[in-house]
Structure 1
Amino acid sequence: VYMAKLDLNRVSMPRQAPGLRARNFNEVALGYSLEQAQAEAGRCIQCPRHPCIDGCPVEIDIPGFIKAVGDGDMPEAVRILKDKNSLPGICGRVCPQETQCEATCVLAKKGAPIAIGRLERYVADWERANMELVSSPVVQPTPTGKRVAVVGSGPAGLTAAADLAKLGHSVTIFEALHVAGGVLMYGIPEFRLPKDIVQAEVNYVASLGVRIELDSVVGKTISVDDLLNSGYQAVFLGPGAGAPMFLNILGENLNGIYSANEFLTRVNLMKAYRFPEYDTP
């Protein structure tokens, strides 16, 4: 009976009109307003078994942060999210919620699941716009004296580094490129994941005390053995899959032939979409 009274359709997220977005590289999905976010949060029935938490790889208290959104307590929503996830602005945009937390939502049995990812994005965007209203964690971790090296600053490396720092370890990220973020920076277009979002969350990880060494190619400029011999007790390897696999077919090495990796790097890091402002080779 209760299910029959629910709105089984999720609140639509505003998007750029097709004719407009075809002419720019701005983010297509525009995000919820406060009213839309609270309307969507109001669809959550706060079920006691919360299968959505089981469907979340990092076990965010999803009903908890959604209730906070519905109550208008955004600082509390931020606190709940960041207790388990240091990259909510990124995850709210590109995490495959449809196969994870949203797939386990009980509302999906009768209609559309709660738009968990859209609400996570809303909270993260609210935090960036209202930093002065969000208090820093009161309890700082007790330093363990242990040093950990993290190879790669993609989503795995950033997450590992943040979680380790929260435990009190001294963490240094070694990133091969000249910017941190890994595939989040070079592999996902601006209209899908704006780079200022990625940079803001990289900055948050750094604010936890994580050092980030750029232009450091582990395996070339420094080895894992070098890291262990220099005082790191552990090394986390998260270099990603940045090297393309070729098909060994005739002509694949000719001028003008690009791998997907190179094409995306030229577009994202070298701003090819802003030619001639950026003279990308």
Structure 2
Amino acid sequence: MTEEKKEEEKEAPKKKKPKIPRQPMPEQDPHERAKNFKEVTYGFTAEFALNESIRCIQCKKPVCIDGCPVNINIPEFIKKVSEGDMLGAAKVIKKSNLLPAICGRVCPQEDQCEMVCVVGKKDKPVSIGRLERYVADYEAAHGTFEMPEIAPKTGKKVAIIGSGPAGLACAGDLIQMGHEVTIFEALHKAGGVLVYGIPEFRLPKSIVERELDYLKKIGVEFKVNHVIGRIRTVDDLIQKDGYDAVFLANGAGLPQFMNIPGENLNGVYSSNEFLTRSNLMRAYNFPEYDTPIKKYKNVAVIGGGNTAMDSVRTALRLGAENAYIIYRRSRDEMPARKEEIEHAEHEGVQFIMLTAPLRVTGNEKGWVT
């Protein structure tokens, strides 16, 4: 190259790579979705997924991997998306996580992988969770079942107590290590909080069923209606049934109460009972499903976490004219996901902050008033 050419190149302005904004998530109109239990968000279109994947700068030190609890190779799967290889992207994800359609919807990525995303230092972080969901849904619609790499059989048997997120994740890892895995679930349906706690409009039960079916296909055995501790003890599983190890994934299902007067009045629900009636037992489809649930015009939910958001948004969909969140701290201190708070607000939920109830009042018949 001549000296003249070199000088021309130095003087020529460098072309900047066009900046692509974080892609919006398509969703139902707030006024419409507040009246139904269909999934709020539609998921990325192919165009949105491609544009979002291009935002990833493929860091030399991808701290997002460390930010992911299961260490998915995030840059690699996003690179596959940018190349149009969605099934390849799914394979990358499933090396670390066999439940991508669930995690892409309900994992708090903003506090994990996206929180440390390098792009997020100067701009909004890459939408890692939304891309994971897109890839998982694409695979379900276009892919065929592929057996993951499974180690030779070890001859070891493991019992997992509980079929919620922890139990399912544990089962997925152990089955790939070559162990024989059985999940014992107390309820009549597997999935734990994924089926009894998280509402249909956030996590459709068909998605959970799809992920459970995948685990069954790769060899995980499920036994529902098995209350371990009543019908069998942990010692029984090891000493009588021949299990080599037991993993306790029985969750934190017991509700917490405030111990204030009036909590035992009719019409006062724990979130566990309220959401279980609506989600697992389909009370929102009463009388098609024989699970009655009391519907009120005015509903107050005490708390500011994700469970509170699920409860208040469910009450709204069940017909409440006024649905309130009552929280003892400020909005900025609410532990719920920012997205869920915004969705609730857009749907018409009313927020009362810096307020804690002292008692619940009722009538002479024992019902809350």
| Structure 2 partner of 1:180 | 190
TM superposition shift of 1:6: 5.2
> Is the aligned partner of 1:243 residue 2:261?
no
TM superposition shift of 1:40: 0.5
Counterpart Cα distance in 2 of 1:237 and 1:210: 16
> Is the aligned partner of 1:119 residue 2:107?
no
Identity %: 59
Listed one character per residue, the Cα deviations across residues 152-183 of structure 1 (whole Å, up to 9, x for unaligned) are 00000000011000000000001010000000
TM superposition shift of 1:136: 3.1
> Is the aligned partner of 1:215 residue 2:225?
yes
Kindly indicate whether the alpha-carbon contact (under 8 Å) linking 2:87 and 2:143 is maintained by their aligned counterparts in 1: no
For residue 80 of structure 1, the aligned residue among 92, 114, 124 is 92
SS at match of 2:199: coil
User: Counterparts in 2 of 1:1-281, with a 5 A limit?
Assistant: 5=17, 7=19, 9-132=21-144, 135-137=146-148, 139-229=149-239, 230-281=241-292
TM-score scaled to structure 1, two decimals? 0.95
Question: Which region of structure 1 is more displaced relative to structure 2, 194-203 or 114-123?
Answer: 194-203
SS at match of 1:263: helix
TM superposition shift of 1:8: 5.7
The number of residue pairs the alignment matches comes to 278
TM superposition shift of 1:276: 3.1
Kindly indicate whether the alpha-carbon contact (under 8 Å) linking 1:8 and 1:112 is maintained by their aligned counterparts in 2: no
Counterpart Cα distance in 1 of 2:38 and 2:62: 35
TM superposition shift of 1:36: 1.0
Listed one character per residue, the Cα deviations across residues 225-276 of structure 1 (whole Å, up to 9, x for unaligned) are 1111121111000100111123333332233221110000011011122233
Counterpart Cα distance in 2 of 1:146 and 1:6: 54
Kindly indicate whether the alpha-carbon contact (under 8 Å) linking 1:8 and 1:111 is maintained by their aligned counterparts in 2: no
Counterpart Cα distance in 2 of 1:122 and 1:186: 24
SS at match of 1:235: strand
Counterpart Cα distance in 2 of 1:240 and 1:28: 26
SS at match of 1:150: strand
Counterpart Cα distance in 2 of 1:246 and 1:76: 47
Counterpart Cα distance in 1 of 2:119 and 2:20: 7
- After superposing on structure 2, the runs of 4+ consecutive aligned residues of structure 1 that deviate more than 6 Å are none
Kindly indicate whether the alpha-carbon contact (under 8 Å) linking 2:160 and 2:182 is maintained by their aligned counterparts in 1: yes
Counterpart Cα distance in 1 of 2:250 and 2:19: 44
SS at match of 1:84: coil
